[in-house]
Structure 1
Amino acid sequence: MSEEILINVTPRETRVAVVENGMMQEVYLERASRRGYVGNVYKGRVQRVMPGMQAAFVDIGLERAAFLHASDIVRPAVSAGNGNGDGAPAQSNGNGGTPPISGLVHEGQEIVVQVIRDPISSKGARLSAHLSIPSRYLVLLPYAKTLGVSVRIEDEDERQRLKETLGSLIGEDPLGYIVRTNAEGQSATALAFDVTYLGKVWRVVQENIASSKVGERVYEELSLPLRALRDLLHEGIEKVRVDSRETYDKVCKFVHKFMPELDERIEHYDGERPIFDLYGAEDEIQRALRREVPLKSGGHLVVDQTEAMTTIDVNTGAYLGSRNLEETVYRTNLEAAQAAARQLRLRNLGGIIIIDFIDMVDEEHKRQVLRTLEKALARDHAKTTVYPMSALGLVEMTRKRTTKSLEYQLCEPCPVCNGRGTLKTPETVTYEIFREITRAVRQFDAEKLMVLASPVVVDRILEEESVGVAELEEFIGKTITFQAEDHYAQERFDVVLL
C-alpha cells in the first residue's frame, strides 16, 4: 500500500490530502478567515471578579476580555476508571459544590487558561483553567492526576487493556491522561509514541509559561499541516509533499522535534504543476460534491446527505454482467462496498449512514459484501460501526463526526430552492398565484391587480392558462395584468393591488 500526504498552501487557505495507491482518500481544509482560538492556551490576568455570576473576566490579549466561570477553575474528581470523553473539561454538578469565585481568583491575579469557545458576536471567548493537550490517541491533563478511557469505547476488555497499557507506560508520571476514542485497538507502541510526544509538548508549554508576559499565547493548537502530521503521519506514509517553502520549514522542524525517525519522509514540492493536480485531487474534490458516483463496472452510487442521516443507494446502471443476475448483483455490490467506504472518507460524512445494496438471495454473497465493506473501512481514521445487513439489503452504520462534511465546508444551500434540490413547476406556481389573487380580493378592496412573476411562469399563464385567467377575472370582478420580471426565481411572485 503506497500512501502519501499532500499539503497545498495558499495565503488564505490550506488543504491536506491523503493519497493511497495514487487515489485521494481524504481531504482536509482550513481557511485563514475561520481559524479560531479554541485549544489555545494563554497567560492571562483577572480584570474583574463577578460574585453574582460566579465568574471572572480575564485579559488574554484578545479584543474583548474573556469569560471564566468558577466551574471551569475547580475540577470535580474524575475516577480513574471512567474518564471524561475525549478530554473535555469536567463541569460542576450544579449542587453547590463549586466554591465562590471570590475564593478562587482575585483581581490582578495571573492565571494560565485555555480557550474552550471562540468569541461570538459581542461576547468574549470562554475560558477554562483545566488545560488539555491532545495527541492522536491521548489527551494530556497536566493539572489532573487522572487515568481515564473515553466512555465511547464500550468494550470492557478493550477499556481494561488500554488502561493497563497506559498505566504501565506512564508509571509514576504525575500528569493525567485520557485515552481517546480512536485509540481503540491500538498497540502499546502507538500509545508510547503519544506519551513521549505529549511529554515533550508539555515541557515546551511550561517553558513558555515561565518566560511569557500577560496576554501572550503559551500554546497554540496546531495549524492544519502540523495537526495532519500529528494525527496521520505514521511508518506507512512514504512521502509528505509540501508546496510552500515556509510551511515546509515549519513541518521539518515539527517532525524533527517530535518524530525524528520520519525526517526523511518530508519533501518540498516545487514542480510546475499544482501539487493537487499530481493525482487528480482537484477533480476528485469536484466529483465528491456531486450526488452520483460512477462505478467502473457501469453501475453507480447515489449519495444523499440529509439532516438526520446520509443514504447511499447502489444501482447496477448499464452493468449487465456475463453470467446470471445474482452474479451481476453480487459483483456490483462488492465494488459498491469499496466505493462507499472511500466516499465516506473523502466527503467526511458522519453520523448515521444507510447503504442500500441491491437485493441478494445468496446468504454467502451478503456476508462477503459486508466483509468487503468492513475491510475497506478498516483504514478509516474515524471510528465506524457496521451492523448486519437487513432483509431488505440495507446496511446501517455509524461514522464518528469530527468536523463538517466536505459539502458543508465548500457549499451553501441554493438560494433558489433553499437547499431542497427541486423547484415547483410553472403549473404549480400558476395555481398558487390564482389562489393568492382570490385571497387578496377577499381581504382588500382594489380596482385591478398586477402579478409580478418569472418569465417562464408569465408565459405559461398567458399561453396555456388564458381561459383560466378570463374565468378568474369574471369570478372576482377585477382586471388582472401580468408582468414578467427577469430577476425573479421560478417560485417567486408578487400580487400587487392597484
Structure 2
Amino acid sequence: MSEEILVNVTPMETRVAVVDNGATQDIHIERTASRGMVGNIYAGKVVRVLPGMQAAFVDIGAERTSFIHVSDIFVSGGDGRAQGSDAIGDYVHEGKKVIVQVTKDPLGSKGARVTTELSVSSRYLVFMPQSNHVGVSQQIDDAAERDRLQQLLADGIAAEEMDAGGGYILRTAAEGVGLDEVRADLRFLKRLWSAVSRRGKKARKAELLYSDLALHMRTVRDLARPGVERILIDSRESYNALTEFCNEYMPEVSDLLEHYSGERPLFDLHGIEEELQGALGRKVGLKSGGYLIIDQTEAMTTIDVNTGSFVGRRNLEETIFKTNLEAATMLARQLRLRNLGGIIIVDFIDMQDEEHRRQVHRTLDKAMARDPARNKITGVSELGLVEMTRKRTRESLEQLLCEDCSVCFGRGVLKTAETICYEIFREIMRDARAYENDTLMVLAAQGVIDRLLDEESANVADLEEFIGKAISLRVEPDNNPEHFDIVLL
C-alpha cells in the first residue's frame, strides 16, 4: 500500500486528500469561516430539559443549541455514563452550567451533539480526565504489542510522576513507539488539560474552552500512519508551521513533509478536482461499463448497481457477478470519498449463484475493512438488498459543498411545460368565474409560453371561446420554469 497526503491551503479554506495507489480515498474540507466543531470543549448552560426524550438542549454559544441525551452524561463516582433508562432530570436542570464536548457537528437543521465525557488528544494518546480506564486502539490487533503499550504507558506515568487520576487510550499511531514519545505526549496532555480546566472554572457564560488543531495539523497528527510515503503541502506558510509542529511533537514524520511549489495547482496535478466534481454527482461509472446510482436522503443513502454497457464474454450470470464485484469495491471508496453515513442500502444486481453472492459479500466486507469510520454490514435482506451502517460524525461532501436547488427546491425534478400549461388552464377557469374582466394575461417562463403558442394553441383558442374572454401571453425571462401569474386586464 502506497499512500500520499495532499494538502491544499488558501486563506478561505483548507482541503486534504488521501490518495492510495493513485486513487483518492478521503477528502476533508475545512473552511476558515466555518470550522468544524467536533472535539471542541465548551462551557455551556442547560436551556431546556425534555423528560419525554430523556435529553436536554444546551447553549454553547453556537447558532443552534446543542443536544445531549442522558446516555451522554458522565456520572462521576459511578460506573461511567448514565443509563438510557435514567431520568435526565436527575443530572441536569434548566440554568445549570455544564462543560461539554462536541461529538457530532451540526447537521442540517440539527444542532451539535455533545457529551459531558471529556477527552483531549495528542499524537499517541487520548486523555480522559473523568475516567480511570486504560485501553488500546482496536486497530492494533497484536496481543503482544497491546500488552507492551499498556506497560509503556504505566512506565511513562510513573516516570512523569503524574497523578493516578484520568484514563488513557493508546491510539493506532502509537504502534511501535518508545517510552520517550509516550512521556512527551503525557507532558503535553497534562499542560493542555490544566489550561482547559482553568478556563472552565473561570467561565461565567457559554464560551469555547478548547478547540482542536486546524485541519492540516490534525491531518498530520491523525493520518500520518505507517504506509504514508509523503505529505505534500502547497503553502509555504503552512509547510513551515507543520515542520515546526512535527519537529516538536512528531519528529518521525518530519521527513515526509514536502513543499509543493509547482505552477500547476496541486489538486489539478493529481486529479483531485475531477474526483471532487464526480463525487457530487448521482452516477458513478465502473471500468467495465456498469455504473452506480447514489441517492442521498435525510433518512438513508441508497445505492443501485447497474450493468450498463457491460455485456460480458460468456453469459449473463458472469456479467452480473463481475459487475457486482467491481461495484462492491467502488461503493466502499465512494462512501469514504463522499463521507456518507447512517443507514446505507445497496441494491446489487440479482445473482442466482449462492457462491457468487457470498463472494460479493466478502469483497464488500474486505473493502469496508479499510474504512477508518466504524461500519457494519448486516447482510442481505429478504428483498435481496444489502443493509449497512457507517458512523456519521460530520457533514457529507454534498451537504458541505452544495445547497438545495432554488428552482426545484431539492426535489431533483421539475414539472414539464405541458403540466404547467394545464395548471394555467385550470387557474384561468377559476379566475374567469370569479372576476368580471375582458382579458387575462399569462406571465410565464419562455418554455411554457412557447408551448402555449405551439402545441397548446388550439386549446388556448377553445378556452377563450369557452370563457368568453381574451387570453394574452407574455414571457417573463426571470421566472422559475414552474412559476406563472395570471393578471386581470
> TM-score normalized by structure 1?
0.76
User: Map of 1:72-471 to 2, 5 A cutoff?
Assistant: 76-77=75-76, 79-80=78-79, 83=81, 93-95=87-89, 131-134=118-121, 139-142=126-129, 144-147=130-133, 174-177=164-167, 189=175, 199-205=186-192, 208=195, 219-390=210-381, 392-471=383-462
* Aligned amino acid, residue 354 of structure 1: I
Gaps of 5+ in 1: 51-56, 106-111, 120-124
How far is the alpha carbon of 1:225 from its aligned partner? 0.9
* Aligned amino acid, residue 359 of structure 2: Q
Q: Which residue number in structure 2 is paired with residue 53 of structure 1?
A: none
8 Å CA contact 1:165, 1:188 repeated in 2:
no
CA distance in 2, matches of 1:115, 1:388: 34
Superposed CA deviations along residues 35-69 of structure 1, whole A, max 9, x for unmatched, are 26675568x9x9x9x9xxxxxx99x9x999x99x9
How far is the alpha carbon of 1:189 from its aligned partner? 3.8
Q: Would the alpha carbon gap of residues 321 and 37 (structure 1) be closer, same or farther in structure 2, given more than 3 Å must change?
A: closer
Total equivalences in the alignment: 451
CA distance in 2, matches of 1:447, 1:34: 56
How far is the alpha carbon of 1:476 from its aligned partner? 2.8
Q: Which residue number in structure 2 is paired with residue 32 of structure 1?
A: 32
CA distance in 1, matches of 2:289, 2:223: 33
How far is the alpha carbon of 1:278 from its aligned partner? 3.1
* Aligned amino acid, residue 76 of structure 1: V
Superposed CA deviations along residues 456-487 of structure 1, whole A, max 9, x for unmatched, are 11121122222222332333333221111111
Q: Would the alpha carbon gap of residues 261 and 462 (structure 1) be closer, same or farther in structure 2, given more than 3 Å must change?
A: same
Q: Would the alpha carbon gap of residues 360 and 196 (structure 1) be closer, same or farther in structure 2, given more than 3 Å must change?
A: farther
Superposed CA deviations along residues 173-200 of structure 1, whole A, max 9, x for unmatched, are 63434769xx8xx698489999767634
CA distance in 2, matches of 1:404, 1:440: 47
Q: Would the alpha carbon gap of residues 196 and 407 (structure 1) be closer, same or farther in structure 2, given more than 3 Å must change?
A: farther
Superposed CA deviations along residues 247-273 of structure 1, whole A, max 9, x for unmatched, are 112222333333332222222222222
* Aligned amino acid, residue 394 of structure 1: L
* Aligned amino acid, residue 260 of structure 1: P
How far is the alpha carbon of 1:414 from its aligned partner? 1.6
* Aligned amino acid, residue 203 of structure 1: K
User: Map of 1:4-43 to 2, 5 A cutoff?
Assistant: 4-35=4-35, 39-40=39-40
8 Å CA contact 1:348, 1:404 repeated in 2:
yes
8 Å CA contact 1:145, 1:174 repeated in 2:
no
Q: Which residue number in structure 2 is paired with residue 484 of structure 1?
A: 475
Superposed CA deviations along residues 85-129 of structure 1, whole A, max 9, x for unmatched, are 9xxxx9x9544556997xx99xxxxxx96675999xxxxx99998
CA distance in 1, matches of 2:260, 2:330: 30
8 Å CA contact 1:39, 1:114 repeated in 2:
no
Q: Would the alpha carbon gap of residues 402 and 95 (structure 1) be closer, same or farther in structure 2, given more than 3 Å must change?
A: closer
* Aligned amino acid, residue 131 of structure 2: K
Superposed CA deviations along residues 267-321 of structure 1, whole A, max 9, x for unmatched, are 2222222211232111111111122111111111111112221111111111111
8 Å CA contact 1:352, 1:397 repeated in 2:
yes
Q: Would the alpha carbon gap of residues 468 and 99 (structure 1) be closer, same or farther in structure 2, given more than 3 Å must change?
A: closer
Q: Which moved more, 1:412-421 or 1:469-478?
A: 469-478
Q: Which residue number in structure 1 is paired with residue 160 of structure 2?
A: none
Q: Which moved more, 1:406-415 or 1:385-394?
A: 385-394
RMSD over aligned Cα, in angstroms?
Answer: 4.6
> TM-score normalized by structure 2?
0.77
Secondary structure at the counterpart of residue 75 of structure 2: coil
CA distance in 2, matches of 1:326, 1:350: 31
8 Å CA contact 1:242, 1:248 repeated in 2:
yes
Secondary structure at the counterpart of residue 164 of structure 2: coil
How far is the alpha carbon of 1:426 from its aligned partner? 0.8
8 Å CA contact 1:353, 1:396 repeated in 2:
yes
* Aligned amino acid, residue 230 of structure 1: R
* Aligned amino acid, residue 8 of structure 2: N
Q: Would the alpha carbon gap of residues 174 and 378 (structure 1) be closer, same or farther in structure 2, given more than 3 Å must change?
A: same
CA distance in 1, matches of 2:415, 2:7: 43
* Aligned amino acid, residue 331 of structure 1: K
How far is the alpha carbon of 1:336 from its aligned partner? 1.0
Secondary structure at the counterpart of residue 295 of structure 2: strand
